[in-house]
Amino acid sequence: MSASRFAHLFHFHGGIKPASHKTESNGVPIRAVPLPERLVVPLIQSSRGGARTIVTVGDKVLKGQCIGEAEGKAGTAIHAPTSGTVKEIGRYPMAHPSGLESLAIVIEPDGEERWFEYERLDPEHASREDLILRIQASGIVGMGGATFPSHIKVDNAIDTLILNGAECEPWITCDDRLMRERAADVLTGATLLGRLSGAKRIVVAIEDNKPEAIAAMRAAVRAEELSDKDESEGIEVVPVPARYPQGGEKQLIKVVTGIEVAAGKLATDYGVQCFNVGTAHAVCRALVHGEAMVSRIVTVTGNVERPGNYEVLLGTRVADLLALAGVKPDTDRTLMGGPMMGFTLPSAEAPITKGSNCVIAASPTLFPHRPPEQPCIRCGSCARACPVELQPFELYWHSRAKNFDKAGEYHIFDCIECGCCAFVCPAHIPLVDYFRFAKSEMRAKNEERKAAEQARARFEFRSFRLEREKAEKAARLAAKAAETRAAMAAAQSSEPKADPS
């Protein structure tokens, strides 16, 4: 393998370099979390499809046992995070900015942690279809936060698989620790994903502010080479410059391959696909060890006594995690995800789900509240920072004026909501808030328009049908009348004969 292949990395426009705050949490090994009193597992864990509950209250379940079957092709199965009893199936607050509730299965652990035994697949010999089905059945979704179902992603033929270990958001270190401690599993998962999608090469991209992770992954690749497996041939660990949003899918693809994935296109259209290192790890656990996705690594950091990374069972309450890490008294809100793209949790009662990579206790000192918004002076800082090369201030004018058509013309749907624009704005305008508002309004308007279109078509067809039925009825009546008349005429003409008088 030649190290010179990626000597030349490419560059994406804009981006920012916020203070990284990684050292708070990346110095301590991943820790286990004591079994909580109960686990709340929401039925919807992915961005595409949910699960249908297959257990009833009172059922005994084993760790890793399926409790929610994948609903449809895009669905994602959910599993009991530990062995115990199904206590309740009810509505609980979601880890979502809306604070809405969703249906969840509540499990009371029995403390035995007994695993459910799945039929083992031999990843070396099992068929591609079986492996992909197993990925779906194991409930694996993208663990970088987007939670896109992995079985859909992997079912595409590609040349290059990029293993995303960039972890460009400040404060988050779960991927860093995962690569340091479980590099071999991550690599095995990546090779499996690579084989399933027919990739000829695998690029492990890691931001250069994580030298230990880079070293660990390189050591894993070397070990793989020594064990003389063919797959190690095309694997390379590539340090990429630390610049937010380096880990954005399109940005990373650009930097590693030079390819710009156009709006409305998929990475696979260009023969490239990105997987998060956490996803690769989960694939390894599922296919090699027969473990469904029941836990993930979560960074708990910010205003806490013991920041670090925890191996957290899905369904653990955020509040429990915070208590474990020792949240300090001046904490005024909890962020889920990184400080650039994460959201303020409406309630710390919300459970950890497959996409929850980070929980940050925020205090006014660590995360000052935004100063009041000032008028935009069109300074253009946002346009210089935008990694998608948009003109955020133009989008802002149009979104603010609810001039959505114009916002669309300025490519608002290309916006990845990375937050670079709002980060650099000297007028402290919450630009991303405006864009999210405009986008959700535009989506809703679009839905309304479609519904109206459908209603119009159905109404017109109904009118047409009623007309037709009326016409048919009239025709029928006319025919009948004609028949009767004919019969009467016939009767009349035959009358003389018939009438004896």
Partner 1 sequence: MSSPHIRRENNSVQRVMAHVLVALVPGIAAYVWQVGAGILVNLAIATLVALAAEAAILALRKRPIAITLTDGSAVVTAWLIALALPSIVPWWLTTIAVLVGIVGAKHLYGGIGQNPFNPAMAAYCTMIVAYPALMSQWPAVGNTDFATQLSLILGGTREIDGLTGATALDAMRTGLRKHEAVSAILANKTAFGAFGGRGWEWIVGGYAVGGLFLLWRRIITWHQPLAFIAGLGLTAALFWVIMPDRFPSPLFHLASGGAMLGAFFIVTDPVTSASTPLGKIIFALGVGIIAWLVRTFGVYPEGVAFGVLLMNIAVPLIDRKTQPSVFGEREEKRP
Partner 2 sequence: MLTALLVMAGITLALGLALGYAAVHFHVDGNPLAEQIDAILPQTQCAQCGFPGCKPYAEAVASGAAEINLCTPGGDDGAKKLAELLGREFKPRGVQEEKLKTVAQIDEQTCIGCTLCIQACPVDAIVGSAKQMHTVVSAICTGCELCLPPCPVDCIALIEEPRTPQNWRWKYPRTGLRVVS
3-state SS class at 320: helix
CB 247 within 8 A of CB 166: yes
Residue 94, binding choice from partner 1, partner 2, none, Cβ under 5 to 8 Å by partner class = partner 2
In angstroms, what is the minimal distance from the CB of 211 to partner 2? 39
CA-CA distances (angstroms) from residue 202 to 160, 190, 339? Answer: 6, 8, 30
CB 400 within 8 A of CB 434: yes
3-state SS class at 436: helix
- Torsion sign (Cα): 267, 273, 276, 281: positive
Residue 108, beta-bridge partner list: 85
Residue type, 248: G
CA-CA distances (angstroms) from residue 417 to 51, 68, 193? Answer: 28, 31, 28
Strand 51-53 to 84-93 pairing: unpaired
Identified binder of partner 2 from the candidate list 16, 43, 94, 237, rule CB under 8 A: 94
CB 86 within 8 A of CB 105: yes
Residue 441, binding choice from partner 2, partner 1, none, Cβ under 5 to 8 Å by partner class = partner 2
Token pair belonging to 190: 């990546």
Q: Which is nearer to partner 2, 102 or 391 (CB)?
A: 102
**Phi/psi of residue 337, each to 5°?**
90, -170
CB atoms within 10 A of CB 181: 16
CB atoms within 10 A of CB 61: 22
- 446 near partner 2, rule: CB under 8 A: no
Interatomic CA distance for residues 307 and 322, integer angstroms: 9
Q: Which is nearer to partner 1, 82 or 381 (CB)?
A: 381
- 459 near partner 2, rule: CB under 8 A: yes
In angstroms, what is the minimal distance from the CB of 412 to partner 2? 13
CA-CA distances (angstroms) from residue 27 to 167, 301, 309, 320? Answer: 16, 12, 9, 22
In angstroms, what is the minimal distance from the CB of 44 to partner 2? 8
Identified binder of partner 2 from the candidate list 453, 469, 472, 495, rule CB under 8 A: 453
In angstroms, what is the minimal distance from the CB of 414 to partner 2? 18
Q: Interface residues with partner 1 (CB under 8 A)?
A: 8, 10, 12-13, 16, 18-19, 97, 170, 250, 254, 257-263, 265, 270, 335, 337, 339-344, 362, 367-368, 370-372, 374-380, 383, 387-391, 393-394, 410-411, 414, 417, 419, 422-428, 430, 432-433, 436
- 96 near partner 2, rule: CB under 8 A: yes
In angstroms, what is the minimal distance from the CB of 341 to partner 1? 5
Task: Single out the segment in contact with partner 2 by CB under 8 A; choices: 145-153, 209-217, 438-446, 488-496.
Answer: 438-446
- 48 near partner 2, rule: CB under 8 A: no
Token pair belonging to 342: 């994460």
Interatomic CA distance for residues 363 and 45, integer angstroms: 29
- 444 near partner 2, rule: CB under 8 A: yes
- 92 near partner 2, rule: CB under 8 A: no
Q: Which is nearer to partner 2, 1 or 100 (CB)?
A: 100
Task: Single out the segment in contact with partner 2 by CB under 8 A; choices: 66-74, 178-186, 249-257, 449-457.
Answer: 449-457
In angstroms, what is the minimal distance from the CB of 7 to partner 1? 12
In angstroms, what is the minimal distance from the CB of 101 to partner 2? 9
- 403 near partner 2, rule: CB under 8 A: no
Residue 456, binding choice from partner 1, partner 2, none, Cβ under 5 to 8 Å by partner class = partner 2
Residue 458, binding choice from partner 2, partner 1, none, Cβ under 5 to 8 Å by partner class = partner 2
Q: Which is nearer to partner 2, 200 or 443 (CB)?
A: 443
Q: Does residue 392 have a cis bond before it (omega within 30 degrees)?
A: no
Q: Cβ contacts of residue 232 below 8 Å, gap of 6+? A: 1, 191, 221, 224, 225
- 260 near partner 2, rule: CB under 8 A: no
CA-CA distances (angstroms) from residue 150 to 85, 167, 277? Answer: 29, 19, 12
Residue 5, binding choice from partner 2, partner 1, none, Cβ under 5 to 8 Å by partner class = none
In angstroms, what is the minimal distance from the CB of 152 to partner 2? 18
Token pair belonging to 433: 């808030």
H and E: helices and strands count for the chain:
15, 17
Q: Which is nearer to partner 2, 29 or 368 (CB)?
A: 368
Interatomic CA distance for residues 356 and 429, integer angstroms: 27
Residue 379, binding choice from partner 1, partner 2, none, Cβ under 5 to 8 Å by partner class = partner 1
- 437 near partner 2, rule: CB under 8 A: yes
Q: Cβ contacts of residue 214 below 8 Å, gap of 6+? A: 206, 208, 237, 239
How far is residue 121 CA from its own chain's centroid? 27
- 462 near partner 2, rule: CB under 8 A: yes
- 375 near partner 2, rule: CB under 8 A: yes
In angstroms, what is the minimal distance from the CB of 487 to partner 2? 32
Q: Cβ contacts of residue 403 below 8 Å, gap of 6+? A: 397
Nearest to 325 by CA among 292, 295, 288, 360: 360
Identified binder of partner 2 from the candidate list 2, 4, 56, 98, rule CB under 8 A: 98
- Residues forming contacts to partner 2 in the complex (CB under 8 A) are 44, 94, 96-98, 100, 102, 372-375, 430, 433-434, 436-437, 439-441, 444, 447-448, 451-456, 458-463
